Amino acid sequence: MPEGDTVYRVAHRLDRALRGGTITRFDLRVPELANADLTGSVVHGVVPRGKHILMRIGAHTLRSHLRMDGAWHLYRPGERWRAPAHTARAIVGTADVEAVGFEVSMLALVPTTEEASLVSHLGPDPLSDDWDPAEAARRVGSDPRPIHVALLDQRNVAGFGNEYAAELLFLRGVLPTRPATEVDAAALLDLGARTIRANRDRIDRTFTGVALRGRTTWVYGRGRRPCRRCGTLIRTGELGADPTEERRTFWCPRCQR
């Protein structure tokens, strides 16, 4: 599932392409929204909120989520799509550009005055202008579950995914199974905010400071390979709020205790 920095870049690319344009094509290919039509409305902007993308069009907001396989492409009107047409779930076009959402999910269309109903459950977002580190630390630090699970819960803090959880916990020397109540949540989230902000404008995300392929992470995706710091083999496991939400965890048994 894309991390918050990826969603941030997608939203800002859509904003640059669509802002100020008048809708000439509006097609939502999900049954409950199939009759929606915002043709003639002006695009006021596109903003990210955690892992959600909010398109503000006329008096309405269109929410989408990339999930595992979703993507928004930009095309010139009439240009051939680079993904199968049957996977298109949303088409938002102006005279100059068409934004096509392939395999996007959680599509919802509400009056912008009710936009909060779509994202009010989310915790503080480190990439938003109103980032509240104290509130994020309070939510994470009071969660009795393993810190890896608490960090992924978007109700605690919005935007961090599995890769960030694994890498931040390594950098702080914290086992993913440690209860969040026993972790210095403020220090962890300060590191997380600084890291995700540094990565938001990069094409290639890095946690090591090296942008070369295969050298961008400390532990994530490196199961059974030597730790870059101490040489101990990286271990893997699975953690989740319930069996349907389990995610692969990566940690160094020597550097994280």
- Return the pLDDT at 241: 84
The mean pLDDT value of the chain amounts to 97
Q: What percent of the chain has pLDDT over 70?
A: 100
Cα 101 to chain centroid distance, Å, stands at: 16
- Return the pLDDT at 257: 87
Higher pLDDT, residue 201 or 234: 234
Q: Catalytic positions, please? A: 2-3, 51, 247
Q: Is the pLDDT of residue 213 over 80?
A: yes
Cα(103)–Cα(35) distance, integer angstroms: 19
> Cα–Cα distances in Å, from 35 out to 11, 57, 86?
25, 16, 18
- Return the pLDDT at 78: 93
**pLDDT, tens digit (0-9, with 9 covering 90-100), for 85-137:** 999 999 999 999 999 999 999 999 999 999 999 999 999 999 999 999 999 99
- Return the pLDDT at 81: 98
Say how many C-beta atoms besides its own lie within 10 A of residue 179's C-beta: 13
pTM of the model: 0.95
Cα(147)–Cα(27) distance, integer angstroms: 41
CB-based contacts of 130, cutoff 8 Å, min separation 6 = 124
Backbone angles phi, psi at 126, to 5 degrees: -65, -15
Under 8 Å between Cβ of 92 and 26: yes
For tokens 């068409």, what's the residue?
A: 98
40: left (phi over 0), alpha (psi -120 to 50) or beta: left
Q: Is the pLDDT of residue 244 over 80?
A: no
Under 8 Å between Cβ of 189 and 137: yes
Report, as an integer, the average pLDDT of 49-72: 97
